[in-house]
Structure 1
Amino acid sequence: MKNPSYKKDQTGRQNRKPGRVRTVIWNTVKCQKWLSAGILCAVVGAVVVALLPPLILGKIVDTITAGRMVPFAIILLYFGMLALTGITESIRESLLTLFGQKITHALRSSLMEKFVSLTTENINRQEPGMLVSRFVGDVDTVENLFTFGIISMFADVCKIISILVVIWYQNRGLTLVLLMLLPILFVFTRQVQKNMLTAQIENRKAVGRASGHVPETLHNIRTIHCLAKERYMEERYDQYIGESYQAMERTNFYDAVYSPVILILNAVVVAIVMLLSATGNAKVLSLFGMSAGTAVAVMNYISQIFTPVESLGMEIQTIQSAIAGIHRINEFFELEEKKIRNLQEEQKDDIHSPFVEFEDVTFGYDEHMVLEHMNLKVEQGEQVTLSGRTGAGKSTIMKLLLGLYEPQQGQIFLQGIPVSAMRETGKRKLYGYVEQSFHIVPGTVRDQITLYDKTITDRQVQVAAELTGLKDTIESLEHGYDTECTPELFSQGQWQLLSIARAAVSEPKLLMLDEITANLDAETEQEVLQALKRVSENRTVISISHRNSAEMGRIVRLLGKI
């Protein structure tokens, strides 16, 4: 696994390589130097400014108790410092929110780059709900790590230390009391931290399972209704929600206990200090004695020092949640990627090699072997039909040829080049793949055909539509090729023709067909076959079919594993 790096291409756009979360964050910090510096200045400024109002207030109280008139300038200064404290806090929060958005953008971009580089096997192993929760929930927790977590905690710690320093010069006895109390608070906070981390991880897992259960139910809704499994699916969802609820209950319990403990300690410390400062003992007064103004300032500081300590509870919860999210994102980053090989090093020297060649290929799913020592050659311009029972390996051959899987043994060549070594960007010029059913993408009719490939011209789109017999149908629409696609726009046969147009528009050398007429009636099937005949002219074609025909070219029968 390579660490992500930030490089700029000729357009100045940053290219990010996926890596661990901390590296993505560090690279974002380096790219946002001024924003990072602004956050640091805002944090320090907010801490320093917050120390001044209690000192000014203490000075005002001492002046009043001495029977003197308080200068208007000091009163104005006091309220001005209060306003400045609010302003610096607002600036800090705004900058933190902006920085969190930058982190979110960089992290999600890195996750997507990682996703498209994964092997098909690793993609298939990912539960949809877990995958979505990484892109959404886990990334959000990382954003919260900065906006409401680690930086806020750093500011609160700085605030606590600075208040202790000020109190030391105002009332050394109180400082000693607070220094004895802080280790107890640390141990208590640490215990809360451990318990909340465990609960947060359990909650993340439960939420992921619940998120995956919803699309699973929708995908299999007909089967669920036919088998009357509604109650079973409901119970499973309730189980996942219940697990999440129990984990959140534990988190909320520790959070609810933490705040009252801090508030009670706040009140106890104030009471103790006030009682000791009122005693007549000279030794006690040497440590706790103070003027009325100093007492007001000290009480203000005590409230200020316990407020950030109380906030640490929420910040700990945020940080623990983020750590759980970071752990899950890093697991995703560590998944195996597609191997990029050197084409020139692996290209076959034989210039007369077949257009497609399977050379001693063995492949299976887990322990179930589908192909063993398979050899197949397809010459350029030849039409080959794969035939055999279900499970014989017809679709597996297609997936291997598309490079979705790598053989466990042997190699697959296309024009003498190993399929596994081909660049993704060049595959569409070589492959045209038509599945049993059409998969709509958001966008217009043109987008369905081009798949947002800007290198495909309008002329190519029109030629593909004409070859498949859809040109008149599309042009009769209100907005022609710019018509927004909806499921009811075309019939089932027309969607299949559109699928063929999508495969043929980039003028590929190889056309692969996976039972494209399996779900069509006889009349529509003939229409699709006629379009396919026009598109297949002067191209190599490999197709899957259960029905034999004289027009299917060479038939390769697969026996598969019994």
Structure 2
Amino acid sequence: MKVKKLGLIQVTQNVMKLNKLLSLGIIITVVGAVISALLPPLVLEQIINLLTSGSTVTIPLAISYFVLLALTSILDSLRESLLVVFGQKITHGLRSTLCEKFSNLPADMFVKQEPGAVVSRFVNDVDTVESLFTSGIISMFADACKVISIFAILFIKNKGLALVLLLLTPLIFLFTRMVQKRMLAAQIDNRIAVEKATNHVPETIKSIRTIHSLRKEKYMCEVYDKHIQDSYNAVEKTNFYDAVYSPIILIINAFVVAVVMLLSATGVPGIQSFFGMSVGTAVAVINYISSIFGPLESIGMEIQTIQSAVAGVHRIDEFLSLDERFETDENIDLNMLMESNRACVELQNVTFGYEPNSTILNNLSLTINTGEQITLSGRTGAGKSTIFKLLLGQYKADSGNVFIYGQDASKLPDNIKRKFFGYVEQHFRMIPGTVLEQITLFDESINREMAEKAAITVGLHSTICKLEKGYNTPCTSSLFSQGQWQLLSIARAIASEPKLLLLDEITANLDADTEQSVLKVLKRASENRTVISISHRLYQQTGGRQIAIK
């Protein structure tokens, strides 16, 4: 499959295309809310000027003031509701994209990426992106439009006040930028700390027996406390800047109102020409000043949301930009592949290393014919399990060729691999689901009859039938013994009736009696199949050919 370069922008565009009415509704409510918020002070100005001049205020004029206030509130509420729905759709689309990306990543990514880091992107970072739309960038855009519109009206109503505000705006902008940068740094620190804490918990649970045996509970708690403390310190910095910003904006608001009122009351002709105004205009101006600093205060409150989301967007885009698995050939036919006259497995001068300057396999060549029983032997770290990963197409050789019936192993598509390969690891990896689903792995091409046949082959059928719900019993770690889990692992591997069986030290963690039972099962499961194993005991039991990996 091809490498895809996806990101938040593409996801947003897709959501907008699929929800055109919702997007149009947001635009209408945002524009409507900005315009309607400008009108009530103008109407109030007319009402007060009429009252101070002794004229009568008409009922329609008075009603229009309250109608405009109600309309502004309705449009604001409707905008927030639509933004919440839009944010949820963005979240759904983003998580779907992340899941698709996750399934298309190469095997080495799961080694290089910590589980906590991946989980953090799916949960914490996506949640911050949702807030970017629900209470972040769109709200800030609306507030900015409102501020600009108020400036235009104030310039018409009171040029002096407009000039004062224009002088203050750069200072407010610089102050805002300072807060933004510091909050962004704190948010990134918090993301890193949360990621480490998230990763620490499952790692601790996985190693809990070793921790108890070595009496390292205190140490593990101290490490976790450090990550939590780092997160707490970062959040404290964020809260400090957030708490400082709003009071300063409110103080400036009060200061500007007081200065303008004093200047308008001086009676000096030169000052009056800039700051003089009627009573109604003064009321309207005070409303507009509050309306300017109100959005500025909101922008300050939204800085935390946006900066947190920016950190989340950066991490998500970084994840979505990872290179995907190399492209496979979807046109490969399994039957035609099997009819090839080539050997089942061929490694031709294969050199491979997981890291650029580390070589595991060096110029390795070997050939395995159909139906052979092969045992790979060699020291730990010689590359026996690495050969399996190359055959499964999880990695590509740095140089040389890895062939399955003459076809590049990395080109085999997933639907072919499931039918062709049966892979048994040292430990059974349980998935959420029933006993039947442990065997089928939700593969629709494997029906219940095939799963039961596999269970009969490994000798687990009667044990499963005795369970409360038989094959439909939900799996838990205590359901089977360690040896039975390994038998279930073999059943999973042979359920699809694969042509090539790969066995990776599957008896390494079993006692002698259980090992003998598993070896007898493997002998039955290996009939009429090509088998490559990493087990000296299996070689002694089944014979075949031994290949030394140096």
Paired residue for 1:97, among 76, 80, 84? 84
Letter in 2 for 1:219: K
- Return the TM-score normalized by structure 2: 0.93
Match of 2:309 in 1: 322
Q: Summarize the Cα distance change of 1:240–1:373 in structure 2 as closer, same or farther, 3 Å threshold.
A: same
Match of 1:459 in 2: 449
Is contact 1:2–1:19 with CA below 8 Å preserved after alignment?
no
Count how many residue pairs are aligned between Structure 1 and Structure 2: 546
Structure 2 CA distance for aligned equivalents of residues 79 and 422 of structure 1: 70
Structure 2 CA distance for aligned equivalents of residues 375 and 2 of structure 1: 29
Paired residue for 1:81, among 56, 59, 68? 68
Is contact 2:392–2:409 with CA below 8 Å preserved after alignment?
yes
Paired residue for 1:309, among 289, 296, 306? 296
Match of 2:281 in 1: 294
Is contact 2:375–2:539 with CA below 8 Å preserved after alignment?
no
Match of 1:553 in 2: 543
The alpha-carbon deviation at position 204 of structure 1 amounts to: 1.9
Structure 2 CA distance for aligned equivalents of residues 487 and 392 of structure 1: 32
Structure 1 CA distance for aligned equivalents of residues 474 and 222 of structure 2: 39
Paired residue for 2:111, among 124, 139, 159? 124
* CA deviation map 1:463-492 (0-9, x unaligned): 222222222222333322222122222222
Match of 1:272 in 2: 259
Paired residue for 2:215, among 209, 216, 228? 228
Counterpart secondary structure, 2:360: strand
Aligned residue runs from structure 1 range 80-229, under 5 A: 80-229=67-216
Match of 2:427 in 1: 437
Structure 1 CA distance for aligned equivalents of residues 532 and 497 of structure 2: 16
Q: Summarize the Cα distance change of 1:451–1:298 in structure 2 as closer, same or farther, 3 Å threshold.
A: same
Structure 1 CA distance for aligned equivalents of residues 337 and 322 of structure 2: 31
Is contact 1:122–1:336 with CA below 8 Å preserved after alignment?
no
Paired residue for 1:529, among 519, 523, 544? 519
Bigger mean CA offset, 487-496 vs 435-444: 487-496
Letter in 2 for 1:114: K
Is contact 1:393–1:558 with CA below 8 Å preserved after alignment?
no
Letter in 2 for 1:364: G
Structure 2 CA distance for aligned equivalents of residues 235 and 480 of structure 1: 45
Is contact 1:430–1:510 with CA below 8 Å preserved after alignment?
yes
Letter in 2 for 1:489: L
Cα RMSD over matched residues?
2.5
* CA deviation map 1:31-65 (0-9, x unaligned): 33222221111100111111222223333333333
Structure 2 CA distance for aligned equivalents of residues 556 and 131 of structure 1: 40
Match of 1:9 in 2: none
The alpha-carbon deviation at position 250 of structure 1 amounts to: 2.5
Bigger mean CA offset, 278-287 vs 413-422: 278-287
Q: Summarize the Cα distance change of 1:29–1:202 in structure 2 as closer, same or farther, 3 Å threshold.
A: same
Structure 2 CA distance for aligned equivalents of residues 95 and 292 of structure 1: 39
Q: Summarize the Cα distance change of 1:324–1:71 in structure 2 as closer, same or farther, 3 Å threshold.
A: same
Is contact 2:101–2:320 with CA below 8 Å preserved after alignment?
yes
Match of 1:7 in 2: none
Letter in 2 for 1:29: M
- Return the TM-score normalized by structure 1: 0.91
Structure 2 CA distance for aligned equivalents of residues 335 and 393 of structure 1: 26
The alpha-carbon deviation at position 348 of structure 1 amounts to: 10
Task: Report whether the alignment pairs 1:403 with 2:393.
Answer: yes
- Among all aligned residue pairs of Structure 1 and Structure 2, give the percentage whose two residues are the same amino acid: 58
Task: Report whether the alignment pairs 1:364 with 2:338.
Answer: no
The alpha-carbon deviation at position 340 of structure 1 amounts to: 1.0
Paired residue for 1:352, among 341, 360, 379? 341
Is contact 2:341–2:405 with CA below 8 Å preserved after alignment?
no
Match of 1:46 in 2: 33
Letter in 2 for 1:372: N
Counterpart secondary structure, 2:401: strand
The alpha-carbon deviation at position 370 of structure 1 amounts to: 2.5
Unaligned stretches of 5+ in structure 1? 4-16
The alpha-carbon deviation at position 29 of structure 1 amounts to: 2.6
Counterpart secondary structure, 2:136: helix
Q: Summarize the Cα distance change of 1:455–1:240 in structure 2 as closer, same or farther, 3 Å threshold.
A: same
* CA deviation map 1:71-98 (0-9, x unaligned): 4433333222222211111111111111
Letter in 2 for 1:381: G
Structure 1 CA distance for aligned equivalents of residues 157 and 54 of structure 2: 22
Counterpart secondary structure, 1:195: helix
Task: Report whether the alignment pairs 1:419 with 2:409.
Answer: yes
